[in-house]
Amino acid sequence: MVGVPGHIMTVRLAILSRGPRLYSTRRLLEEAEKKDCYVEVLDPMRLSITVGNEEPRILNAGWPVEVDAVIPRIGYSITHHGVALIRQFERLGVYVANSSEGISHSRDKLHATQLLTKNRIPVPTTCHVRTWQDVEGALSKVGGMPVVVKVSEGTQGSGVFLVHSEDRARELTYKLLSEGHHVLVQEYIEESHGRDVRVIVVGGKVVAAMRRRARGREFRSNFHLNGTVEKIDLPDEFADVARRAARLLNLDIAGVDLLESERGPLVLEVNSSPGLEGIEGATGINVAGAIIEHCMMHQGFSNVGLDQLLRSRPGHGVVSVNISRHPILSGKQIGDVFTDVNEQFVFAVAREGMHIWKPRRTFLLRRGDEIICYGEIDKIHQQLAPWVSHSVDNNNVSPSTIEFSEDSC
């Protein structure tokens, strides 16, 4: 074959895990060995990072780690170091099955919810409360008692409480805040009491799905709280929401938890190191095999931190303008606003949770749109300045409310 290198190299795979004997780690190891890759389990806490102006490196007991692909299984207690380590693998151009950004975003339920709702993924209504005095307002926002109070960075059901009285909600919030947690007050989805749906998404495809049920009076359906699991045929709407949530969080391997509500699927959280025991047991599907297969296919590629990349050129960056804040732009064509025909600043318009990429100059803007531009920031501001200041005069908006917001596209 012309142009195709003839050599076949054994893929070197590392599973980052503190527990080589854990079910999920063992299964991944077993499936990787079947594929004839060179695989080892590395303890992330024993790997150190060197940064400086020389080549970045990762050392294991003083020896450089050289691998082609990494599957992170980073526990909650070591998120900070784990994410830094994965970032380093990314810098080295190694394929990492879950991006550093994806892991850190998914570990923070508030951050993940903000990202999902910005893209119109349905979630239970959630309030972040900063003082116990905020609780009353939060309760009415989420539809009254009972409510779920949870910490933003919890896992396996710890830090999740169903609360039936306002006093208890206040008391619990006070306690959790004083322990240094970020506290969320969330709408309780009664029709989903004691159960949820776990969907495993690998490389944008749904690989397996199960329903989890809590035992007895417990309302949390986590497998690690002794919940039971059963295989289900996943409705398309659920599959679609799960796939989109995993993609938005930049996770190649994700366990998406969904509540079955009267208004359809609601995303509860997206896990970046989903456990494999419950799902393989319930469905009989070789999920570990699908993960290894995916890694083999993609091991030549690495993640790009696009937001940071776009700022690396001096003076350049991504800027967005929301037309609801500057209604004078509504009804205008992009070419009316960006008159410099030599520059194509607008690379997307966000509309109703979707993006229209590279819109033409004749594209008509309307209320609710967000124009997303990339280029030299000063030039973009110059092009927009007459429109933005004009809208101030017309709408009596105080100048302090005018702002350009940086957007991570």
Ligand X SMILES: Nc1ncnc2c1ncn2[C@@H]1O[C@H](COP(=O)(O)OP(=O)(O)O)[C@@H](O)[C@H]1O
Q: Total residues at the site for ligand X (CB under 6 A)?
A: 23
| Spatial CB neighbours of 72, under 8 Å, sequence gap ≥ 6 | 16, 44, 82, 86, 96, 97, 98, 103, 272, 273
Binding residues among 189-218 for ligand X as defined by CB under 6 A = 189, 192, 196
**What gap in Å lies between CA 333 and CA 342, rounded to an integer?**
16
Nearer to ligand X, 77 or 408 (CB): 77
Q: Which does 208 bind (CB under 5 to 8 A by kind): ligand X, Mg ion, none?
A: none
How many CA atoms lie less than 13 Å away from 385 in the CB half-sphere?
7
Backbone angles phi, psi at 144, to 5 degrees: 80, -175
The CB-of-193 to ligand X minimum distance in angstroms stands at 6
Structure tokens at 11: 């893929």
Smallest gap from Cβ 107 to ligand X, in A, equals: 10
- Our finding on whether 275 is near ligand X (CB under 6 A) is no
**156, interface contact from Mg ion, ligand X, none, CB < 5-8 Å by kind:** ligand X
Piece of 29-37, 39-47, 182-190, 387-395 that binds ligand X (CB under 6 A): 182-190
Contacts of ligand X in 221-260 (CB under 6 A): 221-222, 257, 259
Say which entry of Mg ion, ligand X, none residue 220 contacts (CB below 5 to 8 A, set by partner kind).
ligand X
Q: Site map for ligand X, 124-163, x if CB under 6 A?
A: x-----------------------x-x---xxxxx-x---
Residue with tokens 């994806």: 102
CB neighbourhood size of 279 (10 A): 26
In Å, the largest CA–CA distance within the chain is: 74
The two tokens of residue 177 are: 């805040």
Q: Which residues sit at the interface with Mg ion, rule CB under 5 A?
A: 257, 269
Q: Which stretch binds ligand X (CB under 6 A): 94-102, 186-194, 273-281, 376-384?
A: 186-194
| Contact of 59 with 65, CB cutoff 8 Å | yes
**Bond from prior residue into 314 cis (ω within 30 degrees of 0):** no
Q: Which is nearer to Mg ion, 258 or 292 (CB)?
A: 258
In angstroms, what is the minimal distance from the CB of 118 to ligand X?
A: 19
Structure tokens at 217: 């009076």
Of 391, 390, 382, 357, nearest to 371 by C-alpha is 357
Chain residue at closest Cβ approach to Mg ion: 257
- ω into residue 265 within 30 of 0, thus cis? no
Binding mask 82-121 for ligand X (x = CB under 6 A): ----------------------------------------
**SS3 state of residue 239:** helix
Enumerate binding residues for ligand X (CB under 6 A). Answer: 124, 148, 150, 154-158, 160, 186-189, 192, 196, 219-222, 257, 259, 268-269
